[in-house]
């Protein structure tokens, strides 16, 4: 584990966000590599997230007690014993618990008072959990791809048909406003290009999956990294 020790509420929150982003990558965009590294034939393995937004599957720390709280032990043993979606959801739940334990470990170590602990929790709670990102439970995704980069301008309502169209657009804006990126877990923003996977129906920032609006125009059926490149790399 890294030796970085955040000492303020803001530093602990940045540490939390970085580790969270790394673990979300492991369970979404890098899921094929994560799946392969969790070999049940190996020893007890853990999923670690780092402040640098990177992730690692590795053995637990040898020292007792460890420098930081340890993640769930032996996640690799359950890999082939349950449905992949259920296994990823299980790892996600344990990852959420680990992130909280690390954040409040720092809070206790550096003497956060009640108000600081409450502020830290509220900052953390404003973000969707890893479980919510992985399962998509935080957002009811629509099946159509979002190929619009800016929703700020709308057509004027000149007749009844336009009114119906505008009503649909407004409803879409409301839905997209609650969307969460399946890669980074961040919220939808009007000035960002997004695209929806036609297989798992999760939304992604174009920049997170390296898809531009111009490229998306030529994609008949978009498949996210998790749905497109991993089925051949592991059993279904």
Per-position DSSP letters for 109-125, written without gaps between them: HTT--HHHHHHHHHHHH
Task: Please list the rounded mean pLDDT of every run of 10 residues in the chain (236 residues).
Answer: 74 96 96 96 96 96 89 95 94 97 95 95 94 77 41 38 46 54 78 82 85 80 78 41
Query: Which of 190, 215, 194 has its CA nearest to residue 205?
Result: 194
List the domain boundaries for the chain. Answer: 9-142, 194-229
70: left (phi over 0), alpha (psi -120 to 50) or beta: beta
**CA end-to-end span of the chain:** 33
CATH match of 194-229 with 3.40.50.80: no
pLDDT at position 147 is: 44
Cβ partners under 8 Å of residue 186, min gap 6: 180, 205
| Residue with the two structure tokens 């890999």 | 79
pLDDT at position 146 is: 44
CA-CA distance, 188 to 95, in Å (whole number)?
23
pLDDT at position 234 is: 43
pLDDT at position 88 is: 96
Structure tokens at 112: 């956060």
CA-CA distance, 198 to 214, in Å (whole number)?
18
């Amino acid at each position: 584990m890294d030796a970085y020790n955040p000492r303020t509420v803001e530093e602990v929150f940045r540490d939390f966000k970085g580790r969270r982003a790394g673990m979300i990558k492991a369970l979404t965009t890098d899921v094929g590599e994560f799946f392969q590294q969790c070999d049940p034939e190996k020893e007890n393995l853990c999923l670690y997230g780092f402040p640098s937004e990177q992730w690692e599957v590795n053995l637990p720390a040898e020292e007792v007690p460890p420098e930081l709280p340890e993640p769930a032990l032996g996640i690799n043993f359950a890999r082939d014993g349950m449905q992949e979606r259920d296994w990823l959801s299980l790892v996600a739940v344990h990852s959420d618990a680990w992130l909280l334990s690390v954040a409040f470990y720092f809070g206790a170590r550096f003497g956060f008072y009640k108000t600081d602990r409450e502020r830290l929790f509220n900052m953390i709670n404003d973000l969707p959990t890893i479980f919510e990102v992985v399962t998509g439970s935080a957002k009811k995704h629509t099946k159509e791809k979002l190929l619009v980069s800016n929703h700020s301008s709308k057509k004027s309502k000149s007749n009844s048909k336009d009114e119906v169209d505008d009503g649909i657009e407004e409803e879409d804006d409301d839905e997209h406003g609650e969307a969460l990126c399946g890669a980074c877990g961040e919220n939808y923003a009007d000035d960002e290009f997004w695209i929806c996977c036609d297989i798992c129906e999760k939304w992604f920032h174009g920049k997170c999956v390296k898809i531009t609006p111009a490229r998306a125009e030529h994609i008949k059926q978009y498949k996210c990294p998790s749905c497109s490149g991993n089925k051949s790399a592991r059993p279904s």
